[in-house]
Copies of this chain bind each other. A is one copy, B any other.
Amino acid sequence: MAATMKDIARRTGLGLATISSYFNGGNVREKNRIKIEEAIEELHYEVNEVARGLKTNATKTVGVVIPELNNVFCAEIISGMEDILRSHGYAAIVCDCRTDKKLEKEAVDFLTRKRVDGIINMPVDMTGAHLNEFQKTGKPIVLIDRMIQGISCDCVLVDNVNAAEKAVGMLVEQQHQKIGLIGGPDEVFTARQRMLGYMKALKDHGIAVDEKLICHGDYTIQGGVQAVEELVKENPDMTAVFVTNYEMTMGAVIGLNEMGVSMPEEISLVGFDNLPFARACRPALTIVSQPTEKIARETAQIMLERLEGREELPDHIVRKLQTDIFMGKSIRRQG
């Protein structure tokens, strides 16, 4: 049997009020503090955080809902956030919703019942209906990477328009005109933003957008394989392709490999994310590199500030981070 506060009271001869005060950080005489700590040691007393959660209404847990744990970008961010949250005494309950809106709603409901103190979410789509109920609890929500229409809350974003613009700009500077786009699903915020950047870059350089060069993938490896095969087949004059997330970048490289299309001789490529993968490719890939560590840090910090209840915080904190370019050898100068 685990020891209780009553056991400690019995052992020390002190009143329950004193013991309780000790555990809740109240004022306890030095002499009594020592007695209590000796008793804790002797009785192997452990704070029951479940019981404490019921009393303080804080469970010291944060729910994290992401589309795919299997997605390297998500995994890196969670890994970084979790370190910071844990060092502040918070556990992260991670729910992977497999890019499924129904599962996402279920995950949020599940976390609500678990009485998590806050939710960090990389939402599957832009409607945000899954968060409505949780928002009514008044507990904090921090969105990562993706915004939601109709829900105002904190979010940590990447400047995806600018990222795509720079990537496509590099291809144009090397005289490419027929540039394919392997975009993400239209209902995903980042996918729209990256598409916007692609269009903006073309427009700024006086190149007309050609719908045939645009392919909507699903942010998976297999989606990338299919998309690059389609683009190559339908566009014999395409000389370059921009791929808008890591999994599809890997897929595009697989596709080119297996079709025997040489990179960059036949097709130049700019990918997204994951420096080690870019270095392992032959030739090394030029990629847009997102600041995953910084995203993790900012997200965890905003959540902690909300949970620790400082009053001077603005209603909504929005952070927009910039991306980098890693220069590989996957772009060939045209003409």
Please list the residues of chain A having a beta carbon within 8 angstroms of any beta carbon in chain B.
46-51, 53-54, 59, 61, 68-70, 72, 75-76, 78-79, 82-83, 86, 91-96, 98, 106-107, 110-115, 221, 250-251, 253-254, 257-258, 276-277, 279-282, 284
Q: Which of B59, B83, B98 contacts A96 (CB 8 A)?
A: B83
In the bound assembly, the distance between CA atoms of A114 and B79 in angstroms comes to 20
Given contacts A50-B53, A79-B68, A277-B277, contact A114 B91 (CB under 8 A): yes
Chain B nearest CB: distance from A331 CB in Å? 17
5 closest Cβ pairs, A-B complex: A69-B79, A282-B282, A253-B280, A254-B279, A50-B115
Given contacts A83-B96, A92-B94, A115-B50, contact A257 B282 (CB under 8 A): yes
Look across to chain B and name the residue whose beta carbon is closest to the beta carbon of A53. Answer: B50
B68 and A59 form a contact (CB under 8 A): no
Chain B neighbourhood of A279, CB < 8 A: 254, 257-258
Q: Which of B96, B106, B114 contacts A49 (CB 8 A)?
A: B114
Show 6 A/B contacts (Cβ-Cβ < 8 Å), sorted by A.
A50-B54, A54-B54, A82-B94, A91-B114, A92-B94, A257-B284
Which secondary structure characterizes the binding site on chain A?
helix
Q: Which of B47, B78, B95 contacts A113 (CB 8 A)?
A: B47
Chain B nearest CB: distance from A94 CB in Å? 5
Chain B nearest CB: distance from A96 CB in Å? 5
In the bound assembly, the distance between CA atoms of A227 and B61 in angstroms comes to 40
In the bound assembly, the distance between CA atoms of A78 and B75 in angstroms comes to 11
B86 and A98 form a contact (CB under 8 A): no
B276 and A250 form a contact (CB under 8 A): yes
B257 and A277 form a contact (CB under 8 A): no
Chain B nearest CB: distance from A268 CB in Å? 16
Look across to chain B and name the residue whose beta carbon is closest to the beta carbon of A282. Answer: B282
Q: Which of B51, B107, B257, B284 contacts A280 (CB 8 A)?
A: B257
A93 and B96 form a contact (CB under 8 A): no
Given contacts A82-B69, A83-B96, A96-B79, contact A276 B254 (CB under 8 A): yes
In the bound assembly, the distance between CA atoms of A148 and B112 in angstroms comes to 36
Chain B neighbourhood of A49, CB < 8 A: 113-115
In the bound assembly, the distance between CA atoms of A95 and B276 in angstroms comes to 24
Look across to chain B and name the residue whose beta carbon is closest to the beta carbon of A258. Answer: B279
Chain B nearest CB: distance from A83 CB in Å? 7
B93 and A110 form a contact (CB under 8 A): no
Chain B neighbourhood of A72, CB < 8 A: 72, 75
In the bound assembly, the distance between CA atoms of A281 and B48 in angstroms comes to 51
In the bound assembly, the distance between CA atoms of A50 and B117 in angstroms comes to 12
B258 and A61 form a contact (CB under 8 A): no
Chain B neighbourhood of A48, CB < 8 A: 54, 113, 115
Chain B neighbourhood of A110, CB < 8 A: 86, 91
Q: Which of B83, B91, B107, B282 contacts A93 (CB 8 A)?
A: B91
Chain B nearest CB: distance from A304 CB in Å? 17
Q: Which of B68, B76, B82, B112 contacts A95 (CB 8 A)?
A: B82
Known interface pairs A49-B115, A50-B114, A72-B75; 14 further A-B residue pairs with C-beta atoms within 8 A, sorted by A's residue number? A46-B113, A47-B113, A68-B79, A69-B69, A69-B82, A83-B98, A86-B106, A91-B114, A94-B94, A250-B280, A253-B280, A257-B279, A257-B281, A280-B280
